[in-house]
Amino acid sequence: MPAPSPRRAPDAAEPPTPPLTVFLHIPKTAGTSLVRTIRQGLAPGEFLDLYGVDRTTDVLIEQIGAMTPDQRARVRVAAGHQAWYGIHEMFGRPARYVTFLRSPVARVLSCYRMMRRDTSNRFNPVILRHCPGFGEYVSSRNHPLVANHMAVLLARRGAGPNHNADDCWRVNHAWMERADVNLANFWFVGFQESYDTDARTLCGLLGLEWSPHHERRAADEEPDDLEITPTDVAKCRELNWADAVLYELALIRRGLGQCVGQTR
């Protein structure tokens, strides 16, 4: 009787495809600094840029579809404002999602400062004309305020123009709940307020060297004539109610040791 063929050892199988890391960069959460650090630690072809206000779902489908299978398999990190939860399906491989959050009032204030001080920003003339103070910005109808933008970016099912800004005024409890379900499935959620610690931890999990770097922009310069009242803060928080809920829930999960790079 012929000897039975030897069985192939389980560990001799093809190694599993490493998961794609998707960084959903929410504006004004220190993501630019993090992306710069990550890119410096990756080889050519391992980073995929998902930035650009006009790179909608259809555009990204075409661009990613034009990549060769080897090019898609080589990507280790895909990052940008136009990432969304579920974009990994275009790569045909598992993914782990990463994002950073920021206190909603502080995030909106940072956006306002940027538009107010940066003369190259397209909203600068509108801000200077209609919203010279933060109170006007959160109360006037003539402002480009995007409320609950964290909820929109976490809940959306695809990338729209201008970072889905038009959806900001459509946020309701269903949007907020969908955003929270998605966020609970993120592999790592960091916070702008603890950026150095969280970014160092994330880089370690990704096997990248941590190099402290902080992008400084017009928004970071302290305006000496900007007054902010408790009423302004309360109004801003009221407008960004969904972002406030998501931020608090994320802090609770952090306290429970969730969404900090744990193995699922």
The predicted pLDDT at position 195 comes to 94
CA–CA gap between residue 248 and residue 44 (Å, rounded)? 38
Query: What burial class does residue 64 get, using C-beta atoms within 10 Å of its C-beta: 0-12 exposed, 13-18 middle, 19+ buried?
Result: middle
Query: Closest by alpha carbon to 82, among 153, 28, 29, 16?
Result: 153
- Confirm if 48 and 75 have CB atoms less than 8 A apart: yes
pLDDT digits (tens, 9 = 90+) for 54-81: 999 999 999 999 999 999 999 999 999 9
The predicted pLDDT at position 214 comes to 63
pLDDT digits (tens, 9 = 90+) for 107-134: 999 989 888 888 888 888 888 888 888 9
Query: Closest by alpha carbon to 157, among 181, 173, 191, 192?
Result: 181
What's the rounded mean pLDDT across residues 132-155? 85
pLDDT digits (tens, 9 = 90+) for 80-103: 999 999 999 999 999 999 999 999
pTM: 0.89
The predicted pLDDT at position 220 comes to 55
Q: Which CATH number fits domain 18-103+148-219+243-255: 3.40.190, 1.10.3470, 3.30.420, 3.40.50?
A: 3.40.50
Give me the residue spans of the domains in the chain: 18-103+148-219+243-255
CA–CA gap between residue 28 and residue 15 (Å, rounded)? 38
| Backbone Cα Rg of the chain | 21
**Number of helices (H), then strands (E), in the chain:** 11, 5
13, pLDDT greater than 70 = no
